[in-house]
Amino acid sequence: MWVRGKRRARLSFQDAGEKLTPYPFVLVYPQDLHERLLLRHLEQAGVQVQRPVELVAFEDREDYVVARLRDPDGGLRECEARFLAGCDGASSSVRQQLGAGFPGGTYDHVFYVADVQAAGVAADGEVHVSLETSDFVIMLPYTDTGRGRLIGTVHASRTAGAGPYTFDDVGHSALSSLGLRVDQVHWFSTYRVHHRVTNHYRSGQVFLVGDAAHVHSPAGGQGMNTGIGDAVNLAWKLAAVVRHEAPDSLLDSYELERLAFARKLVDTTDRMFNFVTAEGNFADFVRTRIAPVFATVAYGVDAVRELIFKIVSQITISYHDSPLSVGSAGTIKGGDRLPWVEVDGADNHAPQEKIDWQVQVYGEAGDELRAWCVLHGLPMREFAWSRRHEEAGFTRNAHYLVRPDGHVALCDSSPGPDAVAHYFRDRAYRRFCD
Ligand SMILES: Cc1cc2nc3c(=O)[nH]c(=O)nc-3n(C[C@H](O)[C@H](O)[C@H](O)COP(=O)(O)OP(=O)(O)OC[C@H]3O[C@@H](n4cnc5c(N)ncnc54)[C@H](O)[C@@H]3O)c2cc1C
């Protein structure tokens, strides 16, 4: 954190979450590479993304959807599908056609994003943020040789016109506060930032996912991660319903679980952004004098560092109010993300052969529970009891039913299978019913 050309605070995220996840760091990974990585995995799974094919309109016919598509040659065709997921970004035409609201607002600031080659102390491979004035700027490195991405605001005095803006319009006092000299601008773009959340994630056979459902300031780097979280939440539910393993009502839990989190996130990033860009002498004083000191002191406390890591990595997301969340055992409740523990190579987050439900027991499982799982094809994993499990909040010999997305569905301290059997029966989850 920089103020007036001086480094005022340094918070190390390296290993901040070493007790929480096998990936205890912040990774800066350009979105184009990330998209290519996901596309590669989709291709390996036999899915080909067709570009540029445009969704022009759709009709929800209650138990299926007819989508009208425009091919690159301009030709129109229809496609029938059981469900439609609108992952079509902030201006989502799916959301507009649904008539779902997108309440919230738009910031006055014009943001810019630039891929640059820079020199100076702040071009050292670490993340740097300027608190100099209400001009916001953050430098995200791609390498430690000065290549990186700048995200900031165009100077207010330049945004009276309609644009287009150039790199000359950006807040240079904020840049010089970082002691940064920009030698080359490889790419530059400006945009307006909204803070909005849709009213509905589901309408009939149609779902909204990612920026189509929620947008907010890039401060905090949470947008794409939240969209991926939506997709992970929805994907296993769609798969179960399409395979007739679970009733359609399972899909209603998608909105219930994800909407509350999106509202909280947009509210938090809004407050953070307003703090960082507030104008006036008092705001400048708090931002430049108090914030760096407070951040340094607070970040020195293990529990605070861990909490910040949990928030930024979204490990804290839980679905306690969901109809899919039941019971508690130890400090773990239905709806929590399964706490990560690795003891002597036994990793409770290690991927299974396929993404599926599972039962985990810390200690020894009861014979009846074991037999029930075998009979119903429900994978079970047993972990030899250790002090580390106790520290993470597990109860010895209790069993934890874990959803395909890694959240705990059910916690039960009894040795038998009744709670698991009831769980699936109550939800008419055919695959695991007798
Ligand atoms: C400068 C900046 C920095 C950011 N940094 C971070 C960060 O550090 N971490 C983070 O998690 N997030 C970050 N974000 C947010 C992140 O980029 C978005 O949340 C994410 O890209 C949203 O993904 P999406 O797939 O929902 O939507 P989009 O990326 O907008 O993709 C929507 C896609 O749908 C296509 N489409 C639209 N309409 C149609 C149609 N009718 N038919 C067919 N296709 C259509 C579009 O062409 C596009 O390919 C940042 C955003 C910005 C602007």
Which residue in 252, 255, 242, 239 sits closest to 405, CA to CA? 239
Q: What is the pLDDT of residue 133?
A: 66
CB atoms closer than 10 angstroms to residue 47: 9
- Please, which pLDDT band fits residue 178 given cuts at 50, 70 and 90? confident
User: Among the atoms of ligand 1, which is closest to the Cα of residue 222?
Assistant: 11
CA of 251 to the centre of ligand 1 (A): 24
**Residue 373: in which H helix or E strand, if any?**
helix 367-376
Question: How much is the pTM?
Answer: 0.91
pLDDT tens, 366-414? 999 999 999 999 999 999 999 999 999 999 999 999 999 999 999 999 9
- Please, which pLDDT band fits residue 156 given cuts at 50, 70 and 90? low
Tell me which of 88, 136, 201, 232 to substitute to probe ligand 1's pocket, judged by most ligand atoms within 8 Å of the beta carbon: 88
- Please, which pLDDT band fits residue 134 given cuts at 50, 70 and 90? low
pLDDT tens, 12-22? 877 788 889 99
What one-character DSSP code corresponds to residue 290? I
- Please, which pLDDT band fits residue 161 given cuts at 50, 70 and 90? low
Instruction: Please classify residue 129 by burial: count the beta carbons closer than 10 Å to its beta carbon, then call 0-12 exposed, 13-18 middle and 19+ buried.
Output: buried
CA of 315 to the centre of ligand 1 (A): 22
Alpha helices (H) along 193-277: 223-242, 252-277
Helices vs. strands in the chain: H and E counts, helices first: 11, 22
pLDDT tens, 10-60? 888 777 888 899 998 888 787 788 889 999 999 999 999 999 999 999 999
Nearest CA to ligand 1 atom 45: 88
Q: What is the pLDDT of residue 423?
A: 98
Could you write out the DSSP letters of every residue in 88-117? --TT-HHHHHHT----EEEEEEEEEEEEEE
Nearest CA to ligand 1 atom 11: 224
Query: Crossing angle for the helix pair 223-242 and 252-277, nearest 10 degrees?
Result: 180
Q: What is the pLDDT of residue 77?
A: 97
Grouping H, G, I as helix, E, B as strand and the rest as coil, residue 329 is strand
Kindly report which listed range (102-111, 298-307, 368-377) carries the lowest average pLDDT score: 298-307
Q: 224: alpha, beta or left, given left = phi > 0 and alpha = psi -120 to 50? A: alpha
Q: Count Cα neighbours of 324 within 13 Å in the Cβ-side half-sphere.
A: 29
CA of 87 to the centre of ligand 1 (A): 9
Q: What is the mean pLDDT of the chain?
A: 90
CA of 266 to the centre of ligand 1 (A): 16
More confident: 359 or 5? 359
Look up tokens 């950006």; give the residue: 170
pLDDT tens, 290-300? 777 777 777 77
Beta-carbon contacts of 151 under 8 Å, excluding residues fewer than 6 positions away, are 111, 112, 113, 137, 138, 140, 218
User: Among the atoms of ligand 1, which is closest to the Cα of residue 53?
Assistant: 43
Kindly report which listed range (88-97, 124-133, 193-202) carries the lowest average pLDDT score: 124-133
Q: 380: alpha, beta or left, given left = phi > 0 and alpha = psi -120 to 50? A: beta
Q: What is the pLDDT of residue 87?
A: 97
Ligand 1 shell residues, CB under 6 Å: 31, 54-55, 87-89, 93, 113, 151, 210-212, 218, 221-225, 227
Nearest CA to ligand 1 atom 48: 88
Look up tokens 């009709």; give the residue: 59
Tell me which of 26, 27, 31 to substitute to probe ligand 1's pocket, judged by most ligand atoms within 8 Å of the beta carbon: 31
Nearest CA to ligand 1 atom 17: 224
More confident: 177 or 148? 148
Beta-carbon contacts of 287 under 8 Å, excluding residues fewer than 6 positions away, are 131, 275, 276, 278
User: With contact defined as beta carbons under 8 Å apart, do 330 and 393 qualify?
Assistant: yes
Q: How far apart are CA 431 and CA 236, in angstroms?
A: 14
Please state the rounded mean pLDDT for residues 67-93. Answer: 97
